Amino acid sequence: MNGTHKNEDKIKHTSVTLEEERSNSRFSLVDMDIFINGKNKVNLRERSLAVIRGRPEIFDTSSFYYKGRVSKIDHCLSVEKYLITLLRNKTIDAAEMSTILSILDTPSPFDLTRGAFIPTLIQQCNEEQKKAFLKPALEYKIIGCYAQTELGHGSNVRGLETTATYLEETDEIEIISPTLTSTKWWIGSLGISATHACVMAQLYVKGKHIGLFPIIVPIRSQINHELLPGVIAGDIGPKMGYNTVDNGFLSLNKVKVPRFNLLQRFISLNRNGVITRPKNIDNRATYSTMVYIRANIASGLGSQLAKGITIAVRYTSVRRQFGDQNKQETQVLDYPIVQYRVIPILAKTYAMLGMSHEFFAQYENTVQKINQGDFSMLKEMHAVSCGLKRWSSETAVYGVDTCRHVCGGHGFSMFSGLNEFFSNIYPNIIWEGDNYVLAKQISSYLVKSAFSIKNGQKIVSNDTTRMLAKFIDPENAVNESIRYSWHGMPARTVSASKEILLDVLGYRFVSMTNVLYEKIYGDKMSWEDASIFSQCVATAHSEYIVCLYFSRHLGKLAPESNLLEVLNSLFSVTALSFLLRDTAELYRFFEERASIDRNMIVGFESEYISLIRSVRLQAVPLVDALGVPDEKLNSSLGRYDGYVYEDYVKRAMDDPINSSGSGEVTRKKFYDEYIQPVLNGGKL
Amino acid sequence: MNGTHKNEDKIKHTSVTLEEERSNSRFSLVDMDIFINGKNKVNLRERSLAVIRGRPEIFDTSSFYYKGRVSKIDHCLSVEKYLITLLRNKTIDAAEMSTILSILDTPSPFDLTRGAFIPTLIQQCNEEQKKAFLKPALEYKIIGCYAQTELGHGSNVRGLETTATYLEETDEIEIISPTLTSTKWWIGSLGISATHACVMAQLYVKGKHIGLFPIIVPIRSQINHELLPGVIAGDIGPKMGYNTVDNGFLSLNKVKVPRFNLLQRFISLNRNGVITRPKNIDNRATYSTMVYIRANIASGLGSQLAKGITIAVRYTSVRRQFGDQNKQETQVLDYPIVQYRVIPILAKTYAMLGMSHEFFAQYENTVQKINQGDFSMLKEMHAVSCGLKRWSSETAVYGVDTCRHVCGGHGFSMFSGLNEFFSNIYPNIIWEGDNYVLAKQISSYLVKSAFSIKNGQKIVSNDTTRMLAKFIDPENAVNESIRYSWHGMPARTVSASKEILLDVLGYRFVSMTNVLYEKIYGDKMSWEDASIFSQCVATAHSEYIVCLYFSRHLGKLAPESNLLEVLNSLFSVTALSFLLRDTAELYRFFEERASIDRNMIVGFESEYISLIRSVRLQAVPLVDALGVPDEKLNSSLGRYDGYVYEDYVKRAMDDPINSSGSGEVTRKKFYDEYIQPVLNGGKL
């Protein structure tokens, strides 16, 4: 504000409190960062930050919160142009570009040419088409979009209405949007940027419906960027978030393209309209792409939750409210009810990042086997990937929401950094399979595996089926005390043991799978009706996998590592938060002898709370080790240096409404036109 | 799009589907509207809509989603000015003005002069001060704000740092903001509009700290609206929502006001600095104001949830996805997993609106007794009001979030009407007592009441203590079969009986209170440590009260009313959703003989699902009967007429980015400056 302000001596400055919190660290920050993010990511981050910090005038987003949509897009396009220049002169590579964009944390208009158009070309082009389309796309000589979703069809891809008809006379394909609802909608990079669209359309040849295939359609002139004849396209308008991306609509009125533009890796259409399918192509391989996309979502959301929890932990550490009248007020993070909401999110952030390493490793393993013709890992990997996308997005989106809520009123300010951010990550619960729809994929895999095991069929051994077999295979000779390893154990022993916790989590999903199995095969319930119960079955399975993968990542540490103590606590907090999410799931274990009684549950609750309390002591170093730079936080509340209120006030003062230039004009207009007539109206 | 589009014959138009849904109604829509909203509100709505529809050019908000903050505030101020003119020439009264603003559903810059400044003046002015401050405020000759919250203190009001010192020499009070954190912050109507602030400050007289009191401080010139000397004020910048309100900051540097400006209803400060407290003033009466504010929040949020659920039910009814290939695709609302998420919100909307009538009635009862010097109802009423504010805000905010999610991708578009809306109602979980903090007020009332009952102390009989006494009073002679009325009953009987459901809900909060009682009085746990468990105790109590009040409102209907059948189902869905929220609460009932076993819980689950299925059939008429006009919905997806996609496409086409005027200029700039250099860069 002004010179009249002083900090009273007895009140510790927020920056001092943060320094004190940092001194509680009992582990090496650098080692932790490398362990949880991976050496490669840490190096990329450092190189990328150097680029950003070298040209703040280009990258700075601190004024973003005041801006309207058009000027935000303007900023993003200027960043794109600059980065593409750096890319072309080889100052940066593609990985650095992607890291820079992820630090800036603002979705960018060309994101979908990179994230959807190019990957489709890689997957679906033949060699000639790669030269014609992929090469210029990689060089940004064309900008593309992937036009699948329509106004009337999202999840149900088979229901898409756009048609593509082969015209034998002219050797062309004619594309038509026959109805209003067939308008392509939500297509990223289409609204303003794209020169080309990869249009998913129902292919008709000789009057016969062939199926859904991708066709490259030029939509804007390469000369002046005007829409080409027959093309109606534009921006679909403002959204909850993602407003810096030009999601667009596209309607095609008898637009003709050469036959060559039908992407031909999985289909071949010759001059005479004869369809052939190339040999040596296994459709199942496309599933592995979906797995890869979902692994990326899960890992990316780990980094996003890291941002949210960094802001929440730092701010609740320095915010003080209530407490003993003669002392300083209490740090908000010292209140049990705040710890209880914050620390499990911190633990899950570590779990999400930690398990992602193992998730990618499993993916690579799967692809390697597929390349050798072995598809045995694919089914479980697909179910796991659906589950982890679902768990990660739910956890990250509502985790960030909780981070905002614990920041109190100030969390509601845009300067908290948590609001546009929340809106931008929100669609993760919907895209790449809506979370509620995905649950069925997982539970159906589980129930079918259970069926095979129960009926003595041969089954691929993997993380999921091993746990199923351990508990439901009638042939399984394992000793019961090994099966139910938690039996008779004190809650403290269970809570401290990764092996036993994994057993309980494993048995929980097996038990719930068994109940669902009974509904489907016993009660003959339809899968639709079972969809409600499927949700928690899928969640229980994912929670097991998260802990299993996380524990494997922890297993890479040497026993004497100073990281291990706190990581083990984070593991236990994660596992217990899963078990305590709905304890009725424990009361309802399907076998009496496996069941967990009220005493053990009460014991878990008390272990959980004391673990939370112990982790809280190192909460600030733990978020520091996540390595989220201030440029990504873009938050007054979460600043590394702890100058929370100074930065917050500065940002408020900088609001254009308060400025002496344009702000004065705005305020004068408001006064002259509205406020003054109201105030003086009484005197009329 | 254009003329090439046609709807294929086999696909039913969305508007036709909605008409068919409407024909399922088995009750009178008009009667239902009056019953659930109240005759008075229905009349007010009709008169207010006539005003709005008479001048669409003034009120229309359909272009709001494209606008920046400044132009939105401009629109709101012009509406304020127009409405104040109507008010002055008596075309509308205050109730109509408030209804019009609630239909427009956009927070308005003067909302806080009406909602906080004026109510404080009514409560805290003496008669002379009413003439000086209240009268001009009511006439909009001054615009005020209520300046309590500071940058550093929100919940802990006692910690406020602003000082007000009585200067005997000049008979003035000097107000100082001594620190950065003492800056008043979040103050609605302050950023741009207010001429006066009611400043809450620590009063010092003769060097002695007297306490926290409100002082009226002129902050902007009555002549030109410039800030007065010593005043630093402005707008606090953009927020998650509420951006049409000018929440502001205020720092006072030795600003002097006459002693008269100290509001003197609860304190009197004379010329010689002598403090007296007026007789016949009971501080407890101020609690009843808080009760009233919270009753208004609960009732207002009922109307807001009505908006959310109207959009969700109408859109999921007309949206079709998947299903039998030879038929039309399935309406999304016909999927069990969608019904399961949507219908309970519909039921809770009815419960929230229904119980609000009883809540206000209880409030009036309480005030009437207080006016006769009887404060006996106040304590429970206060606890109930904390709980219902907490329950209503949690239910409405996350209910709207679910409404958005079930709309799929299109829910993420601003044109869904659910996004700015979600952001605007969000702070209800934080203001007027953060929901997590409020839980303690409720649970502490419960535990103390339990203590009195267990120790044979005399206690006021009310809804809460009667239920506590029924189950824990050792002297209670009631027969056990009456106490545990659900025992031995089939789940279907319990689910269909309001009395038995209320008994289970009642026993549940009593049981949980008992556990908390043991922690506090038995284990000597601190209230802070107990704050985690307090949350669910408070929730269980509120859920009982919601159902109790709702059932009383239902009790006003004649037994032959055609409204009753579906309302009874909505009651059961609400009650069962509460019981099934966390069934571990039922497994853990503290008395074995009271407990509910797995079979009964499974029975509840199956009753719940079949009730949901039955309510779904009348879901569209049920949202119609909530009477939310299209002007309030401002939603393509929720339109009454069902022209969902036409309206959606029109709004997208209308986005200024797509226009041929300014949009062309914007797009050309993007192309010339960024896109073209990128596309051509490869050729350099």
Hey, which residues 33-92 in chain B have their CB within 8 Å of chain A? 65-66, 68-70, 73-74, 77-78, 80-81, 84-85, 88
Of A253, A429, A666, the CB nearest to B2: A253
Confidence of residue A1 (pLDDT cuts 50, 70, 90): low
Please tell me if residue B172 touches chain A, with a CB cutoff of 8 Å.
Answer: no
Residue B592 has what pLDDT? 75
Prediction pTM value: 0.97
| Structure confidence at residue B595 (pLDDT) | 80
A74 and B237 within 8 Å at the Cβ level: the answer is no
Supply the pLDDT for residue B478.
67
Closest by CA to A502, choosing from A575, A566, A602, A607, is A575
Look at residue A182 and tell me whether its pLDDT is greater than 80.
yes
Q: What part of B 370-429 touches A (C-beta under 8 Å)?
A: 404-405, 408-409, 411-415, 419, 423, 426-427, 429
Contacts of B429 in chain A (CB under 8 A): 405
Query: Which residues in chain B (184-213) have CB-CB distances under 8 A to chain A?
Result: 186, 191-193, 195
CATH architecture classification, A289-626: Up-down Bundle (1.20)
- Find, in chain B, the residue whose alpha carbon is nearest to that of A394: B405
A565 min Cα distance to partner chain B (Å): 25
Residue A94 has pLDDT above 50, yes or no: yes
CA distance A46 to A575: 33
- B531 closest CA partner among A399, A335, A615, A345: A335
Q: Which of residues 235-274 of A touch B (CB under 8 A)?
A: 235-242, 246, 249, 251, 253-254
Write the pLDDT tens digit of every residue in A295-341. Answer: 999 999 999 999 999 999 999 999 999 987 778 899 999 999 999 99
Of A140, A225, A669, which has the smallest distance from its Cβ to B682's Cβ? A140
Search chain B and give the residue with CA nearest A136.
B682
**Residues A632/A308, Cβ–Cβ less than 8 Å:** no
Taking an 8 Å cut-off on Cβ atoms, the answer to whether B141 and A321 are in contact is no
Q: Which of A190, A192, A428 to mutate to test binding with chain B, by most B CBs within 10 Å of its CB?
A: A192
Per-residue pLDDT reduced to its tens digit, A281-308? 777 777 788 899 999 999 999 999 999 9
* Structure token digits, residue A634: 């873009």
Write down the domain spans for chain A. Answer: 142-279, 289-626
Q: Taking CB atoms and an 8 Å cutoff, what residues of chain A touch B74?
A: 669-670
* Cβ–Cβ contact A662 with B under 8 A: no
Tell me, what's the pLDDT at A477?
62
Give the pLDDT score at B10: 64
pLDDT surpassing 90 at residue A279: no
Are A657 and B436 an interchain contact pair (Cβ–Cβ within 8 Å)? no
Smallest CA–CA distance from A139 into chain B, residue: B682
Scanning every residue of chain B, which has its alpha carbon at the shortest distance from the alpha carbon of A135? Answer: B682
Q: Indicate if the pLDDT at residue A131 is higher than 50.
A: yes
Burial of A499 (0-12, 13-18, 19+ CB in 10 A): exposed
DSSP secondary structure code for residue B675 in this structure: I
What is the pLDDT confidence band of residue A540, given thresholds at 50, 70 and 90? very high
pLDDT averaged per 10 residues, chain B (length 684): 47 94 97 98 98 97 95 97 96 97 97 95 95 97 97 90 98 98 98 98 97 97 96 98 98 98 94 90 78 92 98 98 85 97 98 98 94 93 97 98 98 98 98 95 98 94 96 77 88 97 97 96 96 97 98 98 98 98 90 85 97 98 98 98 98 96 95 96 52
Annotated binding-site residues of A for FAD read: 149, 188
Query: How close is the nearest chain B Cα to the Cα of A559, in Å?
Result: 34
Contact A278, A266 (CB under 8 A): yes
The whole-angstrom separation of Cα A384 and Cα A110 is 30
Angstrom distance (rounded) from CA B31 to CA B557: 11
Residue B642 gets the label, from left (phi > 0), alpha (psi -120 to 50) or beta, of left
CATH number 2.40.110.10 is the correct assignment for the domain at A142-279: yes
Lowest mean pLDDT among A9-18, A355-364, A525-534, A669-678: A9-18
| B432 labelled catalytic | yes
How high is the pLDDT of residue A478?
67
Closest CA to A41 of A548, A622, A631, A629: A629
In order, the DSSP letters of A474-543 are TT----HHHHTTTTT--HHHHHH-HHHHHHHHHHHHHHHHHHHHIIIIIS---TTTTHHHHHHHHHHHHH
Which residues of chain A have a CB within 8 Å of the CB of B237?
Answer: 65-66, 413-415, 651-652, 654-655, 657
The position carrying tokens 């999110």 is: A345
Q: Which of B161, B380, B432, B543 is catalytic?
A: B432
CA A17 to chain centre: 32
Give the mutation candidate from A658, A665, A680, A684 for the B interface (greatest B CB count, under 10 A): A658
Instruction: List the 522-541 stretch of A: residues with Cβ below 8 A of B.
Output: 528-529, 531-532, 535
Residue B3: what pLDDT? 38
User: What is the pLDDT confidence band of residue A6, given thresholds at 50, 70 and 90?
Assistant: very low
Q: Is A670 on the interface with B (CB under 8 A)?
A: yes
- A342 interaction partners in chain B (CB closer than 8 Å): none
**How confident is the prediction for chain A on average, in pLDDT?**
94
Nearest to B78 among A236, A583, A674 (CB): A674
Query: Chain A to chain B, count of Cβ pairs less than 8 Å apart?
Result: 360
Is A405–B180 a contact, with Cβ atoms under 8 angstroms apart? no
Which residue positions of B form the known binding site for FAD? 149, 188
| Nearest CB to A225 within list B5, B582, B675 | B675
What pLDDT is recorded for position A590?
Answer: 75
0.95 surpassed by complex ipTM:
yes
What is the mean pLDDT of the segment spanning A417-427?
Answer: 98
